[in-house]
Amino acid sequence: MNPFDYEFMIHAYLAAAIVAVVAGATGYVLVLRGQSFAGHALGHVGFAGATGAILLGLPPLSGLVAVTVGGGLLMGLLGERMGERDVGIGLVLAASLGLGLLFLGWFSGSATRATALLFGNVLGVDTGTLAALLAVSVTTLAGMAVLARPLLFASLQPELAAARGVPLRLVGVLFLGLVGLAVAGAAQVVGVLLVFSLLVGPAAAAQRMTTRLVPGVVLCVALALGEALGGITLAFYSNWPASFWITALGVVAYGAAVGRDAVRF
């Protein structure tokens, strides 16, 4: 069987490629800033938005985008220092999980649709969703390009950046808003529960392999693409869920990076 003989597989590959590029670019900076917990939390925050949108008769992606971006902005506003940041993230996460459970209790649709929200359904991406993902991804990458210089300065040398007049709180808030967009896209591929694997896994492996910034970002994007496209291909031939394979490949990549360090040192 050739997966490219099927339109749904072509859509799946395109969606995974679009999302992987954005997840790799934003995830690298997210891990660099020590905000992996925020990426994990935003995936759960998105569940409340997606279920709420369904209850209102709207596309789940619209709710995902609105709530994850809003959640990211709120997390950034609640604190910039590590202690404040974790408390803020925890509060937003707890509130969103409560709303998600409430909306799930009201959810009268099929269990299959709820499962797709939790674990992703990249093989069911249609043309409209593909266009929406492309719009979200282009917006995220454009925002990252505009924010890149102050964001990297604030991430690598925060004290010096503050002394030079860089608004650390504003930069942090805007970045988490962009992460919210990236999470909304990634959730379409791996679901809100496993978005952490695509957003953080490749970045953690890439930063194990190189300490240089530009090669690290390129490697991170390449790993995310390999995991996403490889996972979909394995799902096609094995009939196992694509989310499982994408997550499994992420674990293998990170394990290989750790093993490389262990052998070298």
Q: How many domains, in total, are found in the chain?
A: 1
Could you read off the pLDDT of 62-107 as tens digits, one per residue? 888 888 888 888 887 876 555 456 776 777 777 777 887 787 777 6
Residue range(s) defining the domain that contains residue 172:
3-264
- CATH code of the domain in which 220 resides: 1.10.3470.10
Q: Please give the model's pTM, rounded to 2 decimal places.
A: 0.84
pLDDT at 39: 81
pLDDT at 226: 95
Could you read off the pLDDT of 196-245 as tens digits, one per residue? 888 889 999 999 998 898 999 999 999 999 999 999 999 999 988 888 89
pLDDT band at residue 265 using 50, 70 and 90 as cut-offs: very low
Sequential DSSP letters for the chain: --GGGSHHHHHHHHHHHHHHHHHHHHHHHHHHTT-HHHHHHHHHHHHHHHHHHHHTT--HHHHHHHHHHHHHHHHHHH-SSHHHHHHHHHHHHHHHHHHHHHHHHH--S-HHHHHHHHH--GGG--HHHHHHHHHHHHHHHHHHHHHHHHHHHHHH-HHHHHHTT--HHHHHHHHHHHHHHHHHHHHHHH-TTTHHHHHHHHHHHHHHH---HHHHHHHHHHHHHHHHHHHHHHHHHH-S-HHHHHHHHHHHHHHHHHHHHHHH-
